[in-house]
Structure 1
Amino acid sequence: MKSFKYGLLAATALFVSPALAAAPADVLSTYGDIAQAKYSDSLETAKTLKAAIDKLIAEPTEANLEAARAAWLESRNPYQQTEAYRFGNAIVDDWEGKVNAWPLDEGLIDYVDTSYGEESEENDLYTANVIANPSLEIAGETVDATEITASLLEDKLQEAGEVEANVATGYHAIEFLLWGQDLNGTDAGAGARPATDFDPANCTGGNCERRVQYLQAATDLLISDLEEMVAAWSPDGAARKELADKGEEGGLATILTGMGSLSYGELAGERMKLGLMLHDPEEEHDCFSDNTHMSHYNDVIGIRNVYFGEYKSPLGNDVTGASLASLVEAKDAALAEEMKTKLDATLAAFEALKARAEGGEAYDQMIGEGNEEGNAVVQAAVDALVDQTTTIERVVKTLELDDIAFEGSDSLDNPSAVFE
């Protein structure tokens, strides 16, 4: 993925008089407070997810499986809004793969449909199925998987063989276990794993006790990983210290780097335009649950949060404080108004995408070949992200920050390479 020299800006519904513009140090303090609140909410909703999973395991009924799925969906909302903290914050980006890596080769974890295939040139563990196999060969080493533990997932299976698609931990591993494969392609429907896959007394899918072990281990690991990031963003935490050590200009550049990289290369490019070009349902972020529209929408909300210095918490941990938006307005009110227009246009485009999904057409259907109307809705969202990114280049210059390298994407920068 090549670097993309651009800047990103967002706009707010509330403007502050230039005379009342926030100090950069206060902007960075709010930025840290929002991170702490979001990761804290992510942790608490993960604990709620664990409680629902514990109930499913104790009583493996369809109702309890649906409740666990609902808890997973709720847990995704605050977490996805943290993604604007990636890229600019090394502590976050080095850690993020443990909790949100995708796409994954699910055959590493559990049984898959025959349509999945039996092997991959890129991945020797494509159908390793640790749930069915208490012993695995990984890079010439025999790995004892008799008991499925957090240590096994984290230390032996995650990115095993240095293959990024070997995702054994995090939200998407749990998602696959709760929903199973989505075998509908670009037709309607998500994964449909039965609750009896977790019922040793009435087991379907085989190896139910080991599947339960995996689900418990992955959920416990998610909680411990989120605890790590909550601590990092505490007032004396490592992430706050790393941010402070950059100085005010470096801190502001960090905010813009995260916003720009998520907006352009990551969301507009890798997560949206690529799948749209290929019309490939495997290129959707929450592909087992058909929750991709919400993940994308929450990324957009997260970008707005860090720019406007405001976070509306689902658990009441709201944050409002000094914002980057006020600094921009103090420098150039016309530019601030332009960014308001651009960011609001992006939000409107994603609200349209979200409404379409809630009306019955999932994201994987929207990107399907021949769905001209659905394709256009996704493309409009991509275009809005790219458009807001171009305006942010001016924000970087207006704030007199050093040149910032944002993540790029071949799907946007070199489309012909996608098909090579």
Structure 2
Amino acid sequence: MTSLKLGVTLAALGFASTAFAADNQAVLKTYADIAAAGYEDSLITARTLGSAVDALIANPSEETLAAAKSAWLASRVPYQQTEVYRFGNAIVDDWEGKVNAWPLDEGLIDYVDTSYGAENEENALYAANVIANPTFALSGETVDASEITPVLLAETLHEADEVEANVATGYHAIEFLLWGQDLNGTEAGAGNRPYTDFVTGEGCTGGNCDRRAAYLKAATDLLVSDLEDMAGAWAEGGAARAEVMKDETAGLTAILTGMGSLSYGELAGERMRLGLMLNDPEEEHDCFSDNTHNSHYYDAAGIQNVYLGAYTRVDGSVVEGASVSDLVAAQDAELNAEVIAKLEATMAAMGEMKAAADAGEMSYDQMLAPGNAKGEALVMGGVNGLVAQTKSFERVVSVLGLDGIAVEGSDSLDNPSAVFQ
């Protein structure tokens, strides 16, 4: 396994080898600049998705549905690279559930297979099917859902009854509407919603095609609006940028908290190791589209971006500047080299997993199947790399003199027996 083979060397990622002055304020500025670029790219690709959704609704066909799916997949590439800004930045973590919450009880939104079931004791809206029902009961009150709007989705449906599985907005609600359920378990195949689910009038399948189109339109418009807010928060004069820049120690703490928590508890633990332990395809991140290998890959890339202070935008340009790497190199060049090597090793392992899925050899949900030794090795390669780099991040925290950093954990890594209790 080599970085060159997988195309994940620093040069291949578009990162320059230029060393910048190791100045705290300059590092924080680069961090904010990369966030601004990442969220702007997420917004740009979400607007492209919106145009593709409009085309699908106006003229449902195999071609327009495929184009909308392609636009959704493209929109995930920049967004996943921004997830490293969670955990350490409250403004991001408080907002993130609007756009990337998972997993979801999809029966809230639309029709589902009978195997899904009609009720769940933990969620009264488990199979509410808002698309089929212009009114429904919520907390003893009747909700008028005759018009499906962004306001209905965001203020009434999303996390209704304070149930986290009631995900009514964001990328995964849109993903479900484009792909439909993936009923293949750990066998090959993603969701297979027909384009006729969006045909109004004669030829409509699944029923309520006009309301399904309205839901898809509302969810996509809301995604664009939410991304506009976050892109603005990191732009010059934005609240997130100001918060990071106002205190050097707090800003650096936010950076290391985000890197460590995404790397360890969230990605290595909750998104990868847990699903493998349970052999459960429902633990996939992009479960309807079978795009999980890409989501994990670009999450890991986002961590590398922040440490190195460089991000390659969707147009191919590079945003770069003073970095955490520069700060560490000035204090301990050997440790900096160790971190860079571990980041590259993680990306190589993630690249192996991604390559297997991209080539059609094995999708991520197939990797989770019991008895799939090769699949387990591919997933654990990424997990082990993420865990190893987090250990080096702990040394970075010490070298930079930062205190009070709490990295998110996961029972799947810290207390595996608890997973099965």
TM-score scaled to structure 1, two decimals? 0.95
Q: Distance in 2 between matches of 1:416 and 1:406?
A: 21
Give the equivalent residue in structure 1 for 2:47.
47
Corresponding letter in the other structure for 2:43: L
Q: Distance in 2 between matches of 1:273 and 1:203?
A: 41
Instruction: Decide whether aligned partners of structure 1 residues 317 and 94 sit closer, same or farther in structure 2, where only a CA change above 3 A counts.
Output: farther
Q: Distance in 2 between matches of 1:315 and 1:222?
A: 21
| Runs (4+) off by over 3 Å | 11-17
Give the equivalent residue in structure 2 for 1:230.
231
Give the equivalent residue in structure 2 for 1:100.
100
What is the aligned-residue identity percentage?
67
Q: CA offsets, 1:142-188, max 9 Å, x none?
A: 11100111000000000001000000000000000000000000000
Give the Å deviation of 1:358: 1.1
Give the Å deviation of 1:317: 4.8
Aligned partner of residue 34 in structure 1, secondary structure: helix
Is 1:256–2:247 an aligned residue pair?
A: no
Q: Distance in 2 between matches of 1:396 and 1:159?
A: 36
Give the equivalent residue in structure 2 for 1:204.
205
Q: CA offsets, 1:365-399, max 9 Å, x none?
A: 00111111111110111011001101110000000
Give the equivalent residue in structure 1 for 2:57.
57
Give the equivalent residue in structure 2 for 1:5.
none
Aligned partner of residue 293 in structure 2, secondary structure: helix
Give the equivalent residue in structure 1 for 2:323.
323
Q: Distance in 2 between matches of 1:206 and 1:315?
A: 40
Structure 1: gaps spanning 5 or more residues: 1-10
Q: CA offsets, 1:91-147, max 9 Å, x none?
A: 000000000000000000000001111111211111000000011111112111001
Give the equivalent residue in structure 2 for 1:369.
370
Q: Distance in 2 between matches of 1:238 and 1:75?
A: 24
Give the equivalent residue in structure 1 for 2:30.
30
Give the equivalent residue in structure 2 for 1:337.
337
Q: Distance in 2 between matches of 1:234 and 1:354?
A: 32
Aligned partner of residue 43 in structure 1, secondary structure: helix
CA RMSD of aligned residues (A): 1.2
Give the Å deviation of 1:316: 4.1
Corresponding letter in the other structure for 1:209: D
Give the Å deviation of 1:21: 3.6
Is residue 37–residue 318 contact of structure 1 (8 Å, CA) maintained in 2? Answer: no
Is residue 12–residue 340 contact of structure 1 (8 Å, CA) maintained in 2? Answer: no
Aligned partner of residue 136 in structure 1, secondary structure: strand
Aligned partner of residue 242 in structure 2, secondary structure: helix
TM-score scaled to structure 2, two decimals? 0.95
Q: Distance in 2 between matches of 1:317 and 1:218?
A: 30
Q: Distance in 2 between matches of 1:140 and 1:24?
A: 54
Is residue 159–residue 167 contact of structure 1 (8 Å, CA) maintained in 2? Answer: yes
Corresponding letter in the other structure for 1:329: A
Is residue 268–residue 386 contact of structure 2 (8 Å, CA) maintained in 1? Answer: yes
Q: Distance in 2 between matches of 1:304 and 1:378?
A: 19
Q: CA offsets, 1:52-78, max 9 Å, x none?
A: 111111110011100100000000100
Is 1:177–2:177 an aligned residue pair?
A: yes
Corresponding letter in the other structure for 1:226: L
Q: Distance in 1 between matches of 2:280 and 2:233?
A: 37
Q: Superposed, which structure 2 residues align to 1:268-283 within 5 Å?
A: 268-283=268-283
Aligned partner of residue 407 in structure 2, secondary structure: strand
